[in-house]
Amino acid sequence: MAIAFKSQIPTFFQLKKNTEAHSFLRFPSQRLAVPVGRRFTPMAALSTAPTVGLSETFKRLKNQGKVALIPYITAGDPDLSTTAEALKVLDSCGSDIIELGVPYSDPLADGPVIQAAATRSLARGTNFNAIISMLKEVVPQLSSPIALFSYYNPILKRGVEKFMFTIKDVGVQGLVVPDVPLEETEILRKEATKNGIELVLLTTPTTPIDRMKAIVEAAEGFVYLVSSVGVTGARASVSDRVQTLLQEIKEATTKPVAVGFGISNPEHVKQVAGWGADGVIVGSAMVKVLAEAKSPEEGLKELETFTKSLKAALD
């Protein structure tokens, strides 16, 4: 099993961010036996990635009175090496958690922007093994934990157990599977727990309160509140139902709640944070920046600017 060493001295920026939880960063070149704050797995998934899990990240941010910025990008669009660079850019520009989408041929929950990204990525030949190889290299260089976003069939095809083990092995911390409702999550949760992966669950404006309570009870990492009924994609404004929904969820659980779908600019981010969200997820808008750029390099530059503007809205 490959063990990744952190090959470079963490930047001052990263050190500054990770003061409390990451005391081990004082000795960056040492091999870590039991990463602080992570569940120990008997599989001995050793990773020197100096990141903690999703829940821990939220805990730290809460202590600092901060709201998490959670960008989403699709792996392999425009290509995997750009994705690798994009992850680093997002990480260094203020992201607290990064969602990485595994491209799928029939993404039911996604709108045209992310659909197109998946199609382009698959046309380039992006596959799961290539994404894993990329992550193996990149994750040790990141300080934000990675949550994978994948539809169910590719997970089933690979085998739930094998899938969880593989992603944990490269340092992925969390997983979101949008087309599995609570009733069918049992096997996912079992294997996720075994491998120390936090399985995030989604609740929506159409979810009745009792069902929402069951969902938040079972969710790990954070609760993903879908802001509007429908697929992913930027919308003109965020529905103010979100405010009520956030209140209802917070009455039912102390777990962190992140809001996603439709959030696309600093105003939205500020608004949602003001309503009490613990985290804000920005997906299609990010993917669009990379997709519409004239070149990958320009895309990365624009991604940097965009991410910083979103972060500024949270300060």
Residues lying near another protein in the complex (CB under 8 A): 104-111, 122, 127-128, 152-158, 178-184, 202-208, 211, 215, 226, 229-231
Q: Are 309 and 296 in contact (CB under 8 A)?
A: no
Catalytic-role residue among 96, 99, 169, 220: 99
Nearer to another protein, 154 or 296 (CB): 154
- The residue assigned the tokens 């999703």 is 54
Cis peptide before 78 (omega within 30 of 0): yes
Smallest distance from the beta carbon of 152 to another protein, in angstroms?
5
Q: Which C-beta is closer to another protein: that of 36 or that of 229? A: 229
Handedness of CA 176, 177, 179, 183 (dihedral sign): negative
179 counts as catalytic = no
Asked if 292 is an active-site residue, the reply is no
Q: Output DSSP code: residue 48.
A: -
Out of 110, 169, 191, 198, the active site residue is: 110
- Of the candidates 118, 109, 97, the residue with the CA atom closest to the CA atom of residue 222: 97
287: which 2 tokens?
């993917």
Long-range CB pairs of 213-217 (<8 Å, 24+ gap) are: 213/252, 213/253, 214/182, 215/182, 216/249, 216/252, 216/253, 216/255, 217/253
> H/E/C letters for each residue in 190-252?
HHHHHCCCEEEEEECCCCCHHHHHHHHHHCCCCEEEECCCCCCCCCCCCCCHHHHHHHHHHHH
Distance CA 109, CA 260 (A): 12
First to last CA, the chain: 41
Q: How far is the CB of 204 from another protein (least distance, A)?
A: 5
Return the number of the residue (287 or 303) whose C-beta is nearest another protein: 287
The catalytic site residues sit at 99, 110
